[in-house]
Amino acid sequence: MPVKKLKQKAISSPLVTHIYTADPSAHVFQEQIYIYSSHDIDSTIPEDNLGSQFAMQDYHVLSMETPGATVIDHGIALSLQDIPWAKKQLWAPDATEKEGLYYLFFPAKDALDIFRIGVAVSCSPAGPFKAHAQPITGSFSVDPAVFKDRDGVYYLYFGGIWGGQLQHWRTGQFVADKEGAFAQLPADNEPALCPKVAKLSNDLLSFAESPRDLLITNENGQPLLEADKDRRFFEAGWMHYYGGRYYFSYSTGETHYICYAIGDSPYGPFTYAGRILEPVIGWTTHHSICSFQDRWYLFYHDSSLSNGITHLRTIKLTELHHDKNGLIKTISPYSLNG
């Protein structure tokens, strides 16, 4: 568990306080910022390393005209009861727009308790969204993040270990654990599991190809190892494009950093470049990055509103800066003299 910093002063305030929100996916649609959010609830489910306590049942959409402006909660955008194939756990979503329609990508567990990724569609960025009857064929794991490249091609990034189940898919098929919850993770001296990426079909409702590994390497071009827990991928992938290069950012999980790596293609490989965000109050770290009026912003969450309860989180934002070489300045979420 990270060190709780409840007595330190946060650099940012919660965007909303009437509900618990998490996993912010921020985009600019119709000249304002829309944030697609998980909705945390106090489920009373005991906490475990598989995230059973994260029992979210719906998604909310928040919007603001500019950073710092009044935030509007547009209410429930999609509910578990309206997804035919989903059984439980509506974890981190993302959204995109194409030809006047808005697409919400989301993970949920199916009847077999296996995470799949679904898609729902709306004619409004605020929803409500209507889910397709089945998840995306060939989808698995969690944390979908959709990226539209400059040529109009859309890619879906996804994956998360531990409760996100990515380790179950090392053979290409789901293999249940038989020797402990994390028996299928790589050994410390083996390459860490990679996030996944797949090009989307023209209608954004299916994969146009089989998902492939998104390789993250060290400065010498070697894959990051499982033992490198300060740098290796855990969950919460995100892609943005800046200065002619692709930036893949992600959470390191139990070491609680948001890190990033840089590549020349949406498929990678990506070279580790540094940290974006230091640890926050709580356990999970999940973020998004978007630009608005030529300035860049980091959206993230912590558990400050719930006084450190890990599954009751709140969304925040702060400005993000790239230096003259394109490197991102590391952000501390709390002031040193708070």
Per-residue confidence (pLDDT) for residue 8, from 0 to 100: 73
> Residue 147 domain-assigned?
yes
Q: Which one, of 14, 48, 322, lies nearest residue 181 by Cα?
A: 48
pLDDT in tens, the chain (338 residues): 444 445 679 999 999 999 999 999 999 999 999 999 999 999 889 999 999 999 999 999 999 999 999 999 999 999 999 999 999 999 999 999 999 999 999 999 999 999 999 999 999 999 999 999 999 999 999 999 999 999 999 999 999 999 999 999 999 999 998 777 788 999 999 999 999 999 999 999 999 999 999 999 999 999 999 999 999 999 999 999 999 999 999 999 999 999 999 999 999 999 999 999 999 999 999 999 999 999 999 999 999 999 999 999 999 999 999 999 999 999 999 986 54
> Residue 5 domain-assigned?
no
| 132 within 8 A of 205, measured Cβ to Cβ | yes
Which residue among 23, 73, 143, 302 is the active-site one? 23
> Residue 1 domain-assigned?
no
> Residue 215 domain-assigned?
yes
> Residue 10 domain-assigned?
no
> Residue 202 domain-assigned?
yes
> Residue 299 domain-assigned?
yes
Q: Which one, of 195, 215, 94, 80, lies nearest residue 140 by Cα?
A: 195
> Is 235 annotated in the active site?
yes
Q: Which range marks the domain in which residue 265 is found?
A: 20-320
Per-residue confidence (pLDDT) for residue 179, from 0 to 100: 75
Q: How many CB atoms lie within 10 A of CB 330?
A: 14
In angstroms, rounded to a whole number, what is the distance separating the alpha carbons of residues 152 and 336?
A: 43
Which residue among 40, 94, 235, 302 is the active-site one? 235
The number of domains in the chain is: 1
| 301 within 8 A of 280, measured Cβ to Cβ | yes
In angstroms, rounded to a whole number, what is the distance separating the alpha carbons of residues 300 and 11?
A: 12
> Residue 325 domain-assigned?
no
Total-model pTM = 0.96
CATH code: domain of residue 105: 2.115.10.20
